[in-house]
Amino acid sequence: MALGLWELLFKYPPLVFEKGRIVFATPLPAWVLVLATALAALAAWTYLLRVRELSGMDRAGMLALRTSLLALLLVLLFRPTLQVPVAVEQENYLGILVDDSRSMLVADDGSSTRAQELIQRLDTDLLEALSERFRIRLFSFSGDTKRVEEVGQLSFLGGQTRLGRALDQAQSELAGVSLAGLVLVTDGADQSEAELNSSVLSARASGLPVYTVGVGREEFQRDIEVRRVSSPRGVLRGTSMMVDLVIAQNGYAGRTVPLIVEDEGRVVNTQDVELPMDGTPATVRVHFTADEPGWRRFTFRVPLQDDELVTENNRRETLVNVREGPQKVLYLEGEPRFEVKFMRRAVTDDAEVQLVVLQRTAENKFLRLDVDSGEELVDGFPLTREELFSYRALVIGSVEASFFSREQLQMIVDFVSERGGSVLFLGGRRSFAEGGYAGTPIADLLPVELDPNGDPDYYRELKVTPTRAGAAHAALQLSSDPAESAERWSTLPELSTFNRLTRLKPGATSLLVGEGPGVEEGQVVLAFQRYGRGLVLALPVQDSWIWQMHADIPLEDETHETFWRQTLRWLVNEVPDQLTLTASAEPAAINHAVELQAELRDSAFQRINNAAISASIASPSGASTELPLRSTNQVNGEYLASFLPKEGGVHQIRLRAERDGEELATSTLALDAAEDDGEFFSAQMRAPLLRRIAEETGGRFYGLSDIEQLVEDVQYSGSGITRVESYDLWDMPIVFLLIVGLVGGEWAFRRRRGLP
C-alpha cells in the first residue's frame, strides 16, 4: 500500500532512488541556462518590488510561494535525472538457494507445509519473471548444497541446515560468472551460526547482495518443544543424575504435561510439568538414577498434545557414559578424626567409589584402610607421579603443609592440572593457612585466598547454608525434591571450623557458606574452582560427621551419606582416563565427516606420541570399521582421524592404543549420527537472522507474501554486469503536484489575506 503510493508519486520504487544518483542532464546550451537563471532572478526581484508595500507577513508568504515555484521550474529546466546501474538482461546469473531440509515440512498454519507454500510461490510466475532478466541457477541446500534444475526436484528431507555452507558453496559454484546476487529461500533454522557469520562477511567483502526470503511463521500457535537438555557426559553407575531441561511452548499455558525420562526405552522417571504462559519457556529439573553401565541413550519427552504443529520436537536424546567403578579416592588424614570413620561409612555401600584411607595415627605411624594390596601406600603418601596419579581424586584432611616434600606438593598441583584429578581440602587445625599452606604451591590450587599466617585460636560454629549456586548444584541435592532439599539444609545442625576463609579466588564458586556468632560474612563451607584439567574443592569444616551423629538427626536420615556420596562422585565423575576420545560433532550428521580426536598419556600422564591408536567402530547395523588415528605432530599426544557415518543411530567406537604390541590404554565413545537433528527444534522462521544477512550484504529481506518485489529489486543489485539507465525525474507526478500546489497556494493565500 505504502509502496504503491510511493510509486504513484515518485514513479520509481525506493530502491531505484537508493541505488541511483541524481544528475542534471539538460540538452540546452549553457548560455540558455545562464540566461534563464538571470531571468528568474530578475523576475524574483521585480516581484519583490511589487510586494514591497505589503505587510511583513503577507510579503514573506507571497515571496516564499513565488520564489519556490520559480526555483522548482528552474531546477526542472536543468532536467534532473536518476542514473541507476541495472543488471543487463541475460548477462547475469542469479543464484536461488532453496532450503531442502525437513523443517520445511512444518505446517505453520496447520494446513499447508512451508514447502508447499514455497513451491506454489516460486513455481508460478516468479521464476519466469526472474529468468526473463537473469540466468537462474537453482540450488537446494540443507547440510550440503547441490544444483537442481527445477523446484520439483526438492525433497525436503535434508538435515543439518547450514546457511553459511550453502552461501559458500553457491558462491563457489558460480565463481567466474557475473553474479547479480543470491536469493536465499529458507526458514532460517540454521544449525551453525558461527559458520554463517564468516560466509556473510565473505559475501559482503565481494559485494554480493544476498536476498533472503523467510518461509514460515516467527511463532507457532500451538507447539511444545523440549528445547535444551543439559546433562553430564559421564557419570558413575548409580549416580543420582540431575538434568536441567528447557521446555518451550505456545498455546498450552497452564496445562500440566508429563515429562518422561527413558534409559534406552525404559522409563526411569515421570514428572509433571505445569506449562507457564505462552512464549515463556519452562525450566525443569529431573532426577533419575543411571543404573546400567556403558554408553546409555537417555530420552526426555513430553507426549504429543492435541493440535501440535510440530510433532518431532517433543523429545530430546542425550548419550551418557555410565562408568563402572570402583574409582579410587585417596583420603590422607593427618590425625585420628571421626571424619575418617563417618566418611568411610557414608560411602561403604557405594560399589563405584573406593575410599582408600591413609591416616597418620601418630608421628610417622600410619593406618592404611581399603588398600588393594600390601604394597599400596606402604611408604606413606605417594612419592611418584605414577602412584599418585593412579587415584582419581584426593581428599586431604588436617595435615600440615610441612608433612609433604616440595616435590609432593608440586605433584598434588600436577595431579589436578595435568592428570585432571580432583582434590578436596578438608578443614582442621592443620589445614589451609593454619596448616602453613600459604606460600606453597597448594595455595595457588585452592579456590580460596589464604591469610599469610592463619589464626591458631580461631574456632567458630557455623550454620551451613547453600548459596544460590549451591542450591542448584547436583552434588548438594539432599532430596530429589528441591523444596525438600532446601528444607533439609535449613534444619541441619551446626558444624564448626578452625579456618577463617572468606575470600574466593576469581573464577571460584562458593556453594555453601557458614553463618553464626563471630563468623565473618561469606565464610566458605564449600567452594570449588577448575584448575587446569581438574577440579579443586575446599571444605573447611572438620566435623561433617555431626550430620550423622547429632541427636536432631533421625537414625534413618541419609543426609550425611548423601552429601559424601554425591561429593565424592562429583570428584571422580569427570576425571579423564589416560586415553580420551572426542568427536568434533556430537551428534554427527549422516554422510558428513566427523573428526575423532584422541589424547594419549602414560601412567604418569605424560603425553605419548609414538603409539599406534586404532578405532573399531561398530555401526548401528552391525557393520564394523577399523580406523587408524594418526599423530598430529603438532600437539603432543594428540591423534586424529576422520570418520564418515553412513547410517543413522549410535555408533560404538572402541579405541585401543598400543606400542610395541603392548596395550597402553583403551577408551570408548558412543557417537550418534542423525539425519534430522535439530531441524524441528527452534524451527520457527527466524526473521531477525535473515534480515541481518540481507542488511549486511546489501540485499533485502522478504516474506513469501511480498516475494514478487524481489524481481524488480534484484535488477538494481549493482552486482554483475550492469548498464546505467537514466530516469527522468521532471515528469514525476509529485513534481506536477508541487507546481499545482504552489500556484494554488498562492491563489488561496491572496484570497485569504485579501491581497490584489
Partner 1 sequence: MRRPYARFLAMAALSLPLTTAAPLGGHGLRDASPGVTFARLTDSAPAATAPPILPLPGGRSPSEQKAHSFYFTRAMYSGWGGGWGGGGFGGGSWSVDYPVADRWIVSVLGRLTGVDVFPLENPVRLDDPDLRRFPFLYALEVGGMNLRKEEVEGLRDYLLAGGFLVIDDFWGESEWYTFEREIRRILPEYEIVDIGLDHPIFSTFYEIDEIIQVPNVGQGIAGGPTHENGETGRIPRVRGIFDEQGRLMVIINWNTDLGDAWEWAEDPAYPLQYSTYAYQMAANFIVYAMSR
Residues that bind partner 1 (CB under 8 A): 334-338, 340-342, 344-345, 348, 357, 359-363, 365, 367, 369, 429, 459, 461, 496, 498, 542-543, 545-546, 548-553, 555
Count the residues in the chain.
756
Contact 218, 685 (CB under 8 A): yes
Report, in Å, the least distance between residue 414 CB and partner 1. 28
Report, in Å, the least distance between residue 542 CB and partner 1. 8
Report, in Å, the least distance between residue 565 CB and partner 1. 15
- Backbone torsions φ then ψ of 374, nearest 5 degrees: -65, -20
Report, in Å, the least distance between residue 329 CB and partner 1. 16
For partner 1, the closer of residues 368 and 592 by Cβ is: 368
Instruction: Give the distance from CA 633 to its chain's centroid.
Output: 31
For partner 1, the closer of residues 550 and 750 by Cβ is: 550
Cell readout for 161 is: 541446515
- Counting Cα atoms < 13 Å in the Cβ hemisphere of 454 gives 22
Contact 358, 333 (CB under 8 A): yes
For partner 1, the closer of residues 80 and 435 by Cβ is: 435
Alpha-carbon torsion angle 727, 728, 734, 737, nearest 10: -160
Query: Which of 598, 578, 596 has its CA nearest to residue 586?
Result: 596
CA–CA distance, 660 with 680 (Å, rounded to integer)? 49
For partner 1, the closer of residues 176 and 517 by Cβ is: 517
CA–CA distance, 520 with 65 (Å, rounded to integer)? 80
Residue whose grid cell is 529431573: 286
Report, in Å, the least distance between residue 557 CB and partner 1. 9
For partner 1, the closer of residues 131 and 348 by Cβ is: 348
For partner 1, the closer of residues 342 and 528 by Cβ is: 342
Contact 289, 238 (CB under 8 A): yes
For partner 1, the closer of residues 27 and 554 by Cβ is: 554
Q: Strand 135-141 and strand 145-148: pairing?
A: antiparallel
Contact 27, 81 (CB under 8 A): no
Cα→Cα distances 382→55, 394, 397, 445, 499, Å: 107, 11, 16, 19, 26
CA–CA distance, 661 with 639 (Å, rounded to integer)? 18
For partner 1, the closer of residues 337 and 686 by Cβ is: 337
CA–CA distance, 712 with 128 (Å, rounded to integer)? 13
Query: Which of 217, 121, 205 has its CA nearest to residue 167?
Result: 205
Report, in Å, the least distance between residue 404 CB and partner 1. 16
Report, in Å, the least distance between residue 471 CB and partner 1. 27
Coil, strand or helix: which one is 284? Answer: strand
For partner 1, the closer of residues 401 and 613 by Cβ is: 401
Report, in Å, the least distance between residue 511 CB and partner 1. 24
Report, in Å, the least distance between residue 476 CB and partner 1. 22
Cell readout for 37 is: 537563471
For partner 1, the closer of residues 169 and 497 by Cβ is: 497
Report, in Å, the least distance between residue 400 CB and partner 1. 11
Report, in Å, the least distance between residue 553 CB and partner 1. 7
For partner 1, the closer of residues 51 and 553 by Cβ is: 553
For partner 1, the closer of residues 365 and 468 by Cβ is: 365
Report, in Å, the least distance between residue 357 CB and partner 1. 7
Query: Which of 484, 463, 477 has its CA nearest to residue 550?
Result: 463
Report, in Å, the least distance between residue 384 CB and partner 1. 26
For partner 1, the closer of residues 102 and 360 by Cβ is: 360
In what order do the strands lie in the sheet containing 239-250?
223-230, 239-250, 282-290
How many helices (H) and strands (E) the chain has is answered by 19, 35
CA–CA distance, 404 with 410 (Å, rounded to integer)? 10
Contact 181, 208 (CB under 8 A): yes
CA–CA distance, 538 with 555 (Å, rounded to integer)? 28
Coil, strand or helix: which one is 626? Answer: strand
**Residue 576: cis peptide before it, omega within 30 degrees of 0:** no
Query: Which of 515, 476, 473 has its CA nearest to residue 497?
Result: 515
